[in-house]
Structure 1
Amino acid sequence: MLDVRRLRLLCDLARLGTIAAVAQAHTYTPSAVSQQLAVLEREAGVPLLERTGRRVTLTTAGQVLVRHAETVLTALEQTTAALAAVATGLTGPLRIGAFPSAVRTLLPATLVALGHQHPGLELRVTELDPVAVPAGLRERRLDVGLLHDYDVVPVEPDPGLDTVPLLDETVFLAVPDSVPVPGSVAVPDSVPEAAEPLREARDAAWILASPGTLCHTATLHVCRTAGFTPRARHHADDFATVLALVAAGQGVSVIPQLAAAQPPVGVRLLPLDTRRRTRIAYRRGAASHPATAAFVSAIHAATSSFLGR
């Protein structure tokens, strides 16, 4: 009989690429991971790994086992969901991972609604970057999480997760009140009309997210589409900080709708032809779990209320 915990380690090795990365994800030592995978090989009766020096790759049998293991893990999630559905009342922890602007705007009402409807749930929120959510779900540190991408910088879906759409946001150019209104400066005709709000900001100082983040990449894309590369003065990842810097006349920045709900005095928001897309994610097979379904329903209601729909 193949051990489920060892199957998870093998799937994580296929995803992460190294035993060291798997060990870090599970707070194990690399030696412990290697020992567990060796036991799995004995259980399977065929070599699953090829070792060349310190490098480890999956054999053909290992790749086959990973594909079937993903099916097994999905089936276990479905079984857990089915058992939870026949239980009386929702109890136990519901671990939620969400990015800061969603935590500030959407989660408070979501948590209040869940607390009223399902007082037995232990609601636990972790604020984190969306790029960390898939690993948190796979490693069972989270039960549900929020992911986002931009239409100009789409992100490939994680094959081990299911998602449902939550929000399609307008993205704004945040500028100080002192910046002239769009249309007062001539720009080349080659610049697309969709980039109109950016034209005034081509020579401005910019407040960018940290290099390597999705927000940074999306900002570079929309600016280059408008025919220029932004000149960075400041780097900040917290949108409240970004807006405070804009209000202080320190530059301009790209801000999604959730983060722009209550801009400070001195900031104007100019809509761009770009969208940020947020999805609710959970492990494949967990969609029918009552706690997952309750969260999806509650955050959809909170989002509709926030948007005034």
Structure 2
Amino acid sequence: MIEIGALRALRSVAALGTLARAADELGFTASAVSQQIKRLEQQVGVPVLAPAGRGVVLTPAGRAVVEATPEVFQALERCAEAGRSVAEGAARGNLRVAAFSTAIRGLLAPVLPRLSARCPDLRVHITEQDPDQALRAVDAGTADLALVHDADGLPAPLPASVTRRHVHTDVGDVVMGRAHPLARLDRPLTSADLTGHPWVTSPPGTVCHQWFRRLFADAPEDPDVRHLVDDFSTQLSLVASDRVLALIPRVARPPLGEGLVSRPLRRPPKREVHATWRRSAGASPAIRAVLTELAPRAHPDDAPR
């Protein structure tokens, strides 16, 4: 009988290219993953991996095994869901959720009290992961549900075993001190309004830095960037003390306090957030309970001005 853990290990190695990376993703040591692969080879009767430089590659037999794993995992998931359905659809047990950091802060954390009140027997375990890593975790079965955002306006490609639902549209606003000249404007801000003012922004390589650069795509000169800071709470402290502006996603925004205000943009940058889970787990009462709480809700800044 082939061990399920060995199949998960082989699939992770196939996706990541090395035993060490697969071990990090699965939470094992590289030695433990290697032993799982060796047992799988004994069970299948042929080698499934071959060395390739510092990494490994699948043999033709190993590739065939990996291509067959989705059906195996979906069948196991259906078995588990059949057992859960006996409990009259009650959400209980452990639910493993992977999400990027600002989704944890702005989407998951606020709904946990309601979820706990509705489903007292459900325990949610949250792990911070970037979207691509979170999708792999759902596909591999090391996470049950993931929150991911699109990359530069393009939805992340989904593995065949995974489906998704839109849960949030995240919008960027400009934050400033109450005494800032732009704070007196009672209308959405334009790129022309923002020209000539100093900024604190997220570092290059982040979604928010891409948003920021687009604000000035048609500007005649580069923006005056005084500070590069990844943490949004730290950005707000600089806005309060150094009269700079900051572009901050609503889902990531900490409380502003009395000295700061936010102003919307005429053409605000946006990103779509989706919940993703394995298709075979669609009947899970726990997943359905979390999706219910994550249903899109209006943000106070969406109100007409």
User: Under TM normalisation by the shorter chain, which class is it?
Assistant: 0.7 to 0.9
What does 1:1-309 align with in structure 2 at a 5 Å threshold? 1-88=1-88, 89-126=90-127, 129-130=130-131, 132-138=133-139, 140=141, 142-149=143-150, 152-159=152-159, 160-176=161-177, 177-180=179-182, 197-224=190-217, 229-260=222-253, 262-264=255-257, 265-271=259-265, 272-300=267-295, 303-304=296-297
Q: Using a 3 Å threshold, how does the CA distance of structure 1 residues 108 and 260 change in structure 2: closer, same or farther?
A: closer
Q: Which digits, 9 at most, give the CA deviation of each residue in 1:254-297, with x for residues without a partner?
A: 22223458534333423234212111122342221111011111
* Alpha-carbon distance in structure 2 between the residues aligned to 1:293 and 1:181: 42
* Alpha-carbon distance in structure 2 between the residues aligned to 1:52 and 1:102: 38
Q: Using a 3 Å threshold, how does the CA distance of structure 1 residues 181 and 114 change in structure 2: closer, same or farther?
A: closer
**Partner AA of 1:121 in structure 2:** L
Are the equivalent residues in 2 in contact too, given 1:81–1:286 (CA < 8 A)?
yes
Moved more, 210-219 or 268-277: 210-219
Query: Which residue number in structure 2 is paired with residue 187 of structure 1?
Result: none
Cα distance, 1:67 vs structure 2:
1.9
TM-score by length of 1: 0.79
Q: Which digits, 9 at most, give the CA deviation of each residue in 1:67-101, with x for residues without a partner?
A: 21123223322322222122243322223344454
Moved more, 217-226 or 248-257: 217-226
Q: Residue 96 of structure 1 aligns to a residue in which SS?
A: strand
Are the equivalent residues in 2 in contact too, given 1:82–1:289 (CA < 8 A)?
no
Q: Which digits, 9 at most, give the CA deviation of each residue in 1:10-47, with x for residues without a partner?
A: 11112112111112223433233223223323323343
* Alpha-carbon distance in structure 2 between the residues aligned to 1:53 and 1:101: 38
**Partner AA of 2:164 in structure 1:** T
5+ residue gaps, structure 2, are none
Aligned residues: 295
Are the equivalent residues in 2 in contact too, given 1:207–1:251 (CA < 8 A)?
yes
TM-score by length of 2: 0.80
Q: Residue 304 of structure 1 aligns to a residue in which SS?
A: coil
* Alpha-carbon distance in structure 1 between the residues aligned to 2:7 and 2:73: 9
Are the equivalent residues in 2 in contact too, given 1:6–1:36 (CA < 8 A)?
yes
* Alpha-carbon distance in structure 2 between the residues aligned to 1:297 and 1:245: 37
**Partner AA of 1:49 in structure 2:** L
* Alpha-carbon distance in structure 2 between the residues aligned to 1:94 and 1:306: 27
Are the equivalent residues in 1 in contact too, given 2:149–2:156 (CA < 8 A)?
no
Identical-residue share of aligned pairs (%):
31
* Alpha-carbon distance in structure 1 between the residues aligned to 2:29 and 2:244: 46
Are the equivalent residues in 2 in contact too, given 1:243–1:267 (CA < 8 A)?
no
* Alpha-carbon distance in structure 2 between the residues aligned to 1:220 and 1:169: 17
* Alpha-carbon distance in structure 2 between the residues aligned to 1:145 and 1:38: 31
Q: Which digits, 9 at most, give the CA deviation of each residue in 1:192-218, with x for residues without a partner?
A: xxx972234344333222333333334
Are the equivalent residues in 1 in contact too, given 2:198–2:223 (CA < 8 A)?
yes
Q: Which digits, 9 at most, give the CA deviation of each residue in 1:86-140, with x for residues without a partner?
A: 2243322223344454444443552233222222112334455545533554565
* Alpha-carbon distance in structure 2 between the residues aligned to 1:46 and 1:182: 72
Q: Which digits, 9 at most, give the CA deviation of each residue in 1:164-196, with x for residues without a partner?
A: 10011332233445245899xxxxxxxxxxx97
* Alpha-carbon distance in structure 2 between the residues aligned to 1:280 and 1:60: 34
* Alpha-carbon distance in structure 2 between the residues aligned to 1:60 and 1:278: 37
5+ residue gaps, structure 1, are 184-194
* Alpha-carbon distance in structure 1 between the residues aligned to 2:66 and 2:126: 31
Query: Which residue number in structure 2 is paired with residue 188 of structure 1?
Result: none
* Alpha-carbon distance in structure 2 between the residues aligned to 1:144 and 1:274: 26
Q: Using a 3 Å threshold, how does the CA distance of structure 1 residues 95 and 28 change in structure 2: closer, same or farther?
A: closer
